[in-house]
Amino acid sequence: MLVTFSCDAHENITMFGDVARRLLVMMGHSGTLPSAILSEDVPEALSRLRQGITEEKMQAAPAPSAVDEDDNDQVSLAHRAIPLIALLEDAVKAQCNVMWKAS
């Protein structure tokens, strides 16, 4: 399943469902599909997402001796969140709602 995020101030963002739900939970949302965040709640959601990503980075940081060459092929949740963070930043600036649905 794919999830598409949209707002009037940014192009649509589509990501894998499992990643989208993890990011939604970080934002303080239940992960319900479809759903939305009202414009006045977007700054708080963005703040929670950034905090969650920071915590995720701290927990996922491997010890230097534990790094395996095969692990370099994985894309971190922080990198997967970059397009959604950009969408939320634009939504804050434009004061618009953010919506998402399964696609």
What residue ranges do the domains of the chain occupy?
2-56+76-102
Residue 11 — very low, low, confident or very high, per pLDDT cuts 50/70/90?
A: very high
Peptide bond into 34 cis (omega under 30): yes
This prediction has a pTM of 0.86
Spatial strand order of the sheet with 2-7 comes to 10-16, 2-7, 98-102, 35-37
- Residue-wise pLDDT tens digits, 61-103: 665 555 555 555 688 999 999 999 999 999 999 999 999 999 8
Residue 5 — very low, low, confident or very high, per pLDDT cuts 50/70/90?
A: very high
Burial 49-61 (b: 16+ CB within 10 A, else e): bbebbeebeeeee
- Residue-wise pLDDT tens digits, 17-29: 999 999 999 999 9
